[in-house]
Amino acid sequence: MRITTIFFLGVFWINLSIAQTDTLIRVVAAGDVNLGTSYPSTAYLPITADAPYFLLEPAKDIIKKATIAFCNLEGPFLNSGIVSKHCRDTMNCYVFKTPEMYFKCVADVGFNLFSIANNHIYDFGSAGVESTYRLINSFNLNAAGTTNHSFCKFEINGVKYGFTAFSPITGTNNINSYSEVKEIVTLLKSEVDIVIVSFHGGAEGRDYQHVKKEQEVYLGENRGNVFEFSKTAIDCGADIVIGHGPHVPRGVYLYKNRFIAFSLGNFCTYGRINVSGVNGYAPLIDIFVNKKGQFVKGKIHSFIQNYRSGISVDSSRRTALLIRKLSAEDFPDSPLMISEDGSIKLK
């Protein structure tokens, strides 16, 4: 009798564990993705037509398992057009235009949600923006971030999602306008179950890995107070906040049991974007939340970029260890515990 009781208890706990796993929503998030640019020269594109598929291949199995797989499209997908970007400093000016056929690589690997609120989406004006949206729509995927597409809503497995994205760039949702944040996020929360917010903000480069909790100005541009922005978004109903823009990883934090990644850096940025040192650390973060949007657990998968070779698995887990270190330094009161292998749990 005792053996039978123990057996049924064991079955009960196994079934309970499976049920709990089934109720979790898995969001995989990456930072900047740019598979090469044909401007100013096709020399900045992968050598062969099928090469873009191999750039992202090492992460495909993880991305495919997610309910939602997010990244920031760092530049438009456009075959031809006229440059419209005017840089304050011509010595620090980069213009991107990725061939339209490359978008299939991004879709095939499993990404299904995109921010296009960043400082490169308008490099070729509205033509590049419209071409990018057209491609995303043609694959029945979702994106937002420009003023004419400020948010999107969609449903997966009976759960309703809302997404919006912000940046300091004219023509995108304004990261520095908290009234705009409140208006969009509050509206989404009234209509969906889970709200995901993305931002492109913070100063750029290896000298800006820490979250300053103040306005960040870079090359004369107000790149926002990403800490206050993220808290404001969550106060208004956001469940997950995903940052990118600094081109390096930053720490992660939990506010009101909602997950914030302050920068996921460069994930796969071929050709013109600097990937030396910490700029080549390429995190892919698993975020598991319940159907109320509350954080349950996570995992930082460590990848690395080398110049003109895409991503590869980083067996030394440098990316996870860096995010662990930055999170502890910037948020000593955080309720998150990050293990050396990148696992994220509640303390």
The model's pLDDT over 158-188, given as tens digits with 9 standing for 90+, comes to 999 999 999 999 999 999 999 999 999 999 9
Question: What pLDDT was estimated at residue 9?
Answer: 43
Question: What pLDDT was estimated at residue 2?
Answer: 44
Question: What pLDDT was estimated at residue 48?
Answer: 73
Residues ≥6 apart with Cβ < 8 Å to 115: 70, 71, 72, 73, 143, 144, 145, 165, 198, 200, 242, 244
Rounded-to-integer distance, Cα 245 and Cα 262, Å: 9
10 within some domain:
no
Strand 159-166 and strand 151-156: pairing?
antiparallel
Q: Decide if 129 contacts 76 (C-beta within 8 A).
A: yes
21 within some domain:
no
Three-state secondary structure string covering 139-195: CCCEEECECCECEEEEEECCEEEEEEEEECCCCECECCCHHHHHHHHHHHHCCCCEE
Count of domains forming the chain: 1
SS3 assignment, position 265: coil
Burial 49-65 (b: 16+ CB within 10 A, else e): eebbbebbebbeebbee
3 within some domain:
no
User: Which pLDDT tens digit goes with each residue over 41-69?
Assistant: 899 999 776 778 899 999 999 999 999 99
Cis amide linkage into residue 168, ω under 30° from 0 = no
208 within some domain:
yes
8 within some domain:
no
What is the CATH classification number for the domain harbouring 94? 3.60.21.10
1 within some domain:
no
Cα angle 125, 282, 214 (rounded to 5 degrees) comes to 70
Q: Which of 319, 318, 313, 341 is nearest to 56 (CA)?
A: 313
Domain membership of residue 196 as a residue range: 26-346
339 within some domain:
yes
Confidence (pTM)? 0.92
Rounded-to-integer distance, Cα 44 and Cα 128, Å: 18
Question: What residues in the chain have per-residue pLDDT under 50?
Answer: 1-20
Question: What pLDDT was estimated at residue 14?
Answer: 41
Token pair recorded at residue 218: 């870079």
Q: What Rg do the C-alpha atoms of the chain give, in angstroms?
A: 20
Question: What pLDDT was estimated at residue 312?
Answer: 97
11 within some domain:
no
Per-residue DSSP letter, 336: E
Token pair recorded at residue 331: 């948020």
Rounded-to-integer distance, Cα 28 and Cα 26, Å: 7
Question: What pLDDT was estimated at residue 20?
Answer: 46
Run of H or E including 25: strand 25-34
Burial class (CB in 10 A: 0-12, 13-18, 19+), 186: middle
Token pair recorded at residue 1: 């009798």
Question: What pLDDT was estimated at residue 318?
Answer: 98
**Terminal CA-to-CA distance of the chain, rounded, Å?**
38
Q: 12 — alpha (psi -120 to 50), left (phi > 0) or beta? A: alpha
Q: Decide if 208 contacts 248 (C-beta within 8 A).
A: yes
